[in-house]
């Protein structure tokens, strides 16, 4: 049986259906996230399992991995990011078009993990804003799927004007972006 | 020990008055050279078939005054299967040593790495800049002069980790 997403809340009548752009665009975005995998280590292997047939991320509308930042909506950072890689990650984030989300997979991306050392970035949120953190070292594919579902929830419920709001601008400025 | 390695060992010790030889407990051949001799010694070994520079690295012995730093070369003769380890002691007041990039191209990145982590200056290197660490780092992190737990670090936040 093919399972498709139901219509959002709205007013229905004979021959018409009315709803708000917020809901219908949010629904479309949430169910067709194009992820950009930024995988550097073992969390990347778990992410590959997530993409594979057993766990099958494609069920959630994310089967299209985009290796070009300009065409992706969701940056999935899976693995240790060294301080030298920090500017590269930031550049990738800069190149993505709005709206964009970031999923930090695993202890290293979220906090530096076991690499409590001079050469490793102690969490990617030092360089780019993060929407959802997935704990684990490495997290199981189920946890990564849970993280993507949380991102979907954010995308579905996001107001269309959020990215123009002064709070959002201020947040980007605090990361020295744009 | 093969006849070949004995012959090379004797030749090295007679050519370079400052050199020392030691066979360690793992039956590895260790030589110590002075800074002035190392390049000539490497050139001689290369001419004797030691064409493979396995590794080049540094180490820090802060407890040895006058010889705080050491540069270590691992060199391999593939046809005779003989491996030599060459060491050069350096004082922290004079961290200069001649490069061997003119003999072994593979020394290029390994010398950069040794510079990056220990601050050893390889004279004559074509591009002695940092290779692994961020370019704007202003110290050499493998020197044993930094506390393991740096209390002044501002980049880590332990609030949620209970460390």
Closest CB to A84 among B133, B160, B161: B133
Q: Do B134 and A83 touch (CB under 8 A)?
A: yes
pLDDT exceeding 70 applies to what percent of chain A? Answer: 99
SS3 state of residue A91: helix
- Is B161 at the interface with chain A, CB within 8 A? yes
Give the pLDDT confidence score for residue B160 in this predicted structure.
66
- Is A124 at the interface with chain B, CB within 8 A? no
Express each pLDDT in A95-128 by its tens digit.
Answer: 999 899 999 999 999 988 888 888 889 889 999 9
The first and second tokens of residue A135, run together, are: 């704990």
> For residue B110, is pLDDT > 80?
yes
ipTM above 0.85, yes or no: no
When pLDDT is averaged across residues A35-51 and rounded to a whole number, the result is 93
Which range among A18-27, A117-126, B147-156 shows the weakest confidence by mean pLDDT? Answer: B147-156
- Name the pTM for this structure: 0.83
The first and second tokens of residue A43, run together, are: 């969390």
Instruction: Report which of A114, A98, A31 is spatially closest to residue B156, judged by C-alpha positions.
Output: A114
> For residue B64, is pLDDT > 70?
yes
- Which residues of A fall within a CB distance of 8 Å from B156? 112, 116, 122
The first and second tokens of residue B128, run together, are: 């002695």
- B35 — phi, psi (to 5°)? -60, -35
CB B122 within 8 A of CB B99: yes
* Pairwise CA distance, residues B34 & B49, whole Å: 22
Half-sphere exposure of B29 (CA within 13 A, CB side): 20
Query: How many secondary structure helices (H) and strands (E) does chain A include?
Result: 6, 6
Q: Do A122 and B133 touch (CB under 8 A)?
A: no
């Amino acid at each position: 049986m093919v399972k498709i997403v139901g219509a959002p809340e709205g007013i229905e009548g004979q021959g018409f259906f009315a709803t708000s752009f917020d809901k219908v665009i949010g629904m479309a975005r949430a169910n067709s996230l194009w992820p950009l995998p930024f995988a550097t280590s073992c969390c990347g292997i778990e992410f590959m399992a997530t993409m594979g047939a057993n766990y099958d991320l494609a069920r959630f509308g994310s089967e299209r991995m985009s290796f070009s930042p300009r065409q992706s909506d969701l940056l999935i950072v899976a693995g240790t990011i060294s301080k030298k890689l920090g500017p590269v990650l930031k550049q990738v984030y800069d190149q993505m078009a709005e709206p964009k989300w970031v999923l930090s997979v695993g202890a290293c991306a979220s906090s530096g993990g076991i690499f409590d050392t001079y050469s490793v970035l102690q969490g990617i949120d030092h360089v780019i804003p993060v929407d959802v953190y997935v704990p684990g070292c490495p997290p199981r594919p189920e946890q990564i799927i849970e993280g993507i579902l949380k991102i979907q929830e954010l995308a579905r419920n996001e107001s269309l004007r959020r990215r123009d709001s002064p709070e959002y601008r201020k947040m980007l400025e605090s990361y020295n972006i744009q | 020990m093969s006849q070949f390695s004995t012959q090379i060992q004797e030749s090295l010790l007679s050519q370079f008055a400052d050199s020392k030889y030691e066979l360690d407990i793992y039956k590895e051949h260790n030589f110590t050279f002075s800074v002035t001799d190392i390049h000539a010694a490497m050139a001689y070994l290369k001419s004797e078939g030691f064409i493979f520079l396995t590794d080049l690295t540094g180490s820090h012995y802060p407890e040895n005054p006058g010889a705080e730093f050491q540069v270590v070369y691992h060199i391999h003769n593939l046809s005779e299967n003989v491996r030599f380890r060459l060491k050069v002691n350096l004082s922290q007041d004079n961290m200069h040593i001649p490069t061997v990039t003119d003999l072994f191209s593979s020394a290029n990145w390994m010398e950069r790495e040794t510079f990056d982590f220990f601050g050893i200056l390889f004279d004559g290197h074509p591009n002695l800049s940092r290779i692994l660490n961020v370019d704007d780092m202003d110290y050499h992190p493998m020197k044993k002069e930094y506390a393991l737990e740096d209390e002044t670090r501002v980049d880590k936040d332990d609030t949620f980790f209970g460390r």
